[in-house]
């Protein structure tokens, strides 16, 4: 089904732009008419990948409403028609209109979602396809929504552990820049005019302050420039990207939390796919796809290869030396008892609790660490400045 980029106008005269699938231009005009828009002009898009990915919150809301109404016994076409006519978001209205037309033409829900490449994650499409095949679509949709909500919380926690230290670092850097470029030069000038010998800590302070004053235009933007260069290098070199990802996991304290979050997403994805009837080896492929870190991705792929060659699941993961012993024991117990689904649920619960505790501990440590760091810095500056002043005053008293 072709993809069209269109420009339309509402009854109030508001211009709307968007993209939608349609059988032809007449079908597109009919779809827009149903949502109160009149087509002005359209253009066929050959590259369907240009569709924008549905935001995670929008995807959760859409699937949640779909699951609730399907569970209540409402037909899928009626659900899409209601969402198309009542939602306040234009992109959701366009999406529902496109899905309605495809399903009304004989497609299944999973086929209609798959016809929107890039907008719906491949994992979601395949899970819905599995739900349709087993006749448990509402239950599968409920599993997907719960998983997406949990992963959204994990993403928020990832941002939290990265943004807070970055903010603290920025504050400390701004204090250092202010001290070295404005305050210290004035105080040091006063100390130098007093005469006498200057102790080594004061000379070191003068040297650092002088470097900031003379070469601040290089020193201050240097971290940002280095970060940009590292990102560009990671995009062009697989080896460099792998080294950076390995270093990311070795960061003090933060690295272990990031590793736990990535493994939590992978275990949740594996549990979700396994519960909905997707084969284990295919589920491991999706686990690898949802992981951005190359080290974790390679470990999952190696474990999948070992399992495909006949190794037990627990042995496949244990050989990678990346997964905690407790997780391996949980998987092994699930294999022995035949309750791998329960074991994977327990792993998700374990990681969720452990991540929350780790982030809480980190946040409780950052504030006193910042206070100590600033105290040491200010103490050094005060010692470097007040030392010569004290010596000069002592000489004056002696004379």
Q: Where are the beta strands (DSSP E) in the chain?
A: 3-10, 15-21, 37-45
Query: Do residue 103 and residue 169 come from a single domain?
Result: no
Distance CA 21, CA 39 (A): 14
Query: Do residue 228 and residue 245 come from a single domain?
Result: yes
Distance CA 166, CA 284 (A): 33
**Domains held by the chain: number:** 3
Q: What is the pLDDT of residue 395?
A: 64
Which of 112, 135, 158 is the last residue before a domain boundary?
135
Both tokens of 163, joined, read 């943004």
Query: Do residue 340 and residue 196 come from a single domain?
Result: yes
Query: Do residue 373 and residue 297 come from a single domain?
Result: yes
Q: What is the pLDDT of residue 88?
A: 67
pLDDT 10s digits, 127-178: 888 888 888 888 888 888 888 888 788 777 777 767 777 777 787 788 778 8
Query: Do residue 111 and residue 237 come from a single domain?
Result: no
Q: What is the pLDDT of residue 50?
A: 41
Q: Which residues does the chain have with pLDDT short of 70?
A: 1-2, 21-24, 45-53, 88-90, 117-118, 161, 188-197, 391-399
Distance CA 183, CA 180 (A): 6
Supply the DSSP symbol for 23.
Answer: S
Name the 3-class secondary structure at 228. Answer: helix
Name the 3-class secondary structure at 92. Answer: helix
Distance CA 123, CA 138 (A): 16
Query: Do residue 27 and residue 62 come from a single domain?
Result: no
25 close to 40: Cβ distance less than 8 angstroms: no
Q: Which CATH number characterizes residue 380's domain? A: 1.20.81.30
pLDDT 10s digits, 3-50: 778 888 888 888 888 777 666 677 778 778 877 788 888 877 654 444
Q: What is the pLDDT of residue 288?
A: 84
86 close to 9: Cβ distance less than 8 angstroms: no
Q: What is the pLDDT of residue 48?
A: 44
Q: What is the pLDDT of residue 46?
A: 54
Does an H or E element contain 196, and which?
A: none
Query: Do residue 104 and residue 249 come from a single domain?
Result: no
Q: What is the pLDDT of residue 11?
A: 82
Q: Could you list the residue range(s) of the whole structural domain that residue 258 is in?
A: 136-399
Q: What is the pLDDT of residue 52?
A: 60
Query: Do residue 15 and residue 76 come from a single domain?
Result: no
45 close to 72: Cβ distance less than 8 angstroms: no
Query: Do residue 382 and residue 328 come from a single domain?
Result: yes
Distance CA 177, CA 170 (A): 10
Query: Do residue 195 and residue 116 come from a single domain?
Result: no
Name the 3-class secondary structure at 2. Answer: coil
Q: What is the pLDDT of residue 21?
A: 66
Query: Do residue 46 and residue 93 come from a single domain?
Result: no
Rounded to 5°, the CA angle 38-34-66 comes to 135
Query: Do residue 45 and residue 61 come from a single domain?
Result: no
For CA atoms 185, 190, 191, 192, give the dihedral sign. positive
Rounded to 5°, the CA angle 344-121-23 comes to 145
Task: Give the other-Cβ count within 10 Å of 277's Cβ.
Answer: 13
Which of 35, 50, 65 is the last residue before a domain boundary?
50
Which of 135, 165, 198 is the last residue before a domain boundary?
135
Q: Residue 265, by phi and psi: left (phi above 0), alpha (psi -120 to 50) or beta? A: alpha
């Amino acid at each position: 089904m072709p993809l069209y980029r269109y420009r339309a106008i509402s009854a109030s005269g508001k211009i709307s732009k968007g993209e939608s699938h349609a059988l032809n231009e007449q079908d597109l005009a009919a779809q827009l008419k149903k949502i109160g828009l009149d087509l002005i002009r359209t253009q066929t898009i050959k590259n369907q990948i240009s569709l924008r990915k549905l935001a995670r919150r929008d995807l959760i809301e859409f699937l949640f409403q779909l699951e609730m109404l399907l569970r209540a016994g409402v037909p899928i076409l009626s659900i899409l028609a209601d969402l198309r006519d009542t939602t306040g978001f234009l992109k959701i209205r366009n999406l529902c209109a496109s899905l309605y037309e495809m399903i009304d033409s004989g497609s299944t829900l999973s086929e209609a979602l798959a016809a929107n490449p890039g907008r719906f994650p491949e994992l979601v499409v395949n899970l819905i396809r599995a739900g349709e095949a087993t006749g448990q679509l509402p239950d599968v949709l409920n599993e997907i929504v719960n998983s997406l909500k949990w992963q959204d919380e994990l993403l928020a926690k990832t941002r939290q552990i990265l943004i807070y230290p970055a903010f603290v670092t920025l504050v400390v850097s701004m204090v250092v820049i202010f001290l070295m470029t404005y305050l210290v030069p004035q105080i040091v000038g006063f100390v130098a005019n007093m005469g006498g010998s200057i102790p080594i800590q004061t000379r070191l302070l003068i040297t650092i302050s002088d470097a900031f004053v003379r070469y601040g235009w290089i020193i201050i933007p240097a971290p940002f420039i280095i970060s940009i260069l590292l990102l560009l290098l990671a995009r062009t070199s697989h080896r460099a990207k792998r080294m950076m990802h390995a270093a990311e996991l070795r960061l003090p304290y933060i690295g272990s939390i990031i590793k736990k979050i990535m493994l939590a997403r992978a275990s949740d994805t594996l549990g979700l796919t396994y519960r909905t009837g997707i084969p284990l080896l295919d589920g491991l492929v999706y686990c690898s796809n949802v992981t951005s870190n190359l080290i974790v991705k390679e470990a999952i792929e190696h474990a999948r290869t070992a399992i495909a060659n006949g190794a037990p699941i627990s042995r496949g993961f244990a050989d990678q030396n990346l997964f905690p012993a407790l997780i391996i024991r949980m998987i092994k117990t699930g294999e022995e008892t035949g309750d791998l689904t329960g074991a994977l649920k327990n792993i998700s619960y374990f990681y969720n609790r452990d991540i929350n505790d780790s982030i809480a501990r980190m946040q409780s440590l950052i504030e006193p660490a910042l206070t100590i760091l600033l105290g040491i810095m200010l103490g050094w500056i005060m010692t470097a400045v007040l030392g010569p002043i004290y010596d000069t005053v002592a000489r004056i008293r002696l004379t």
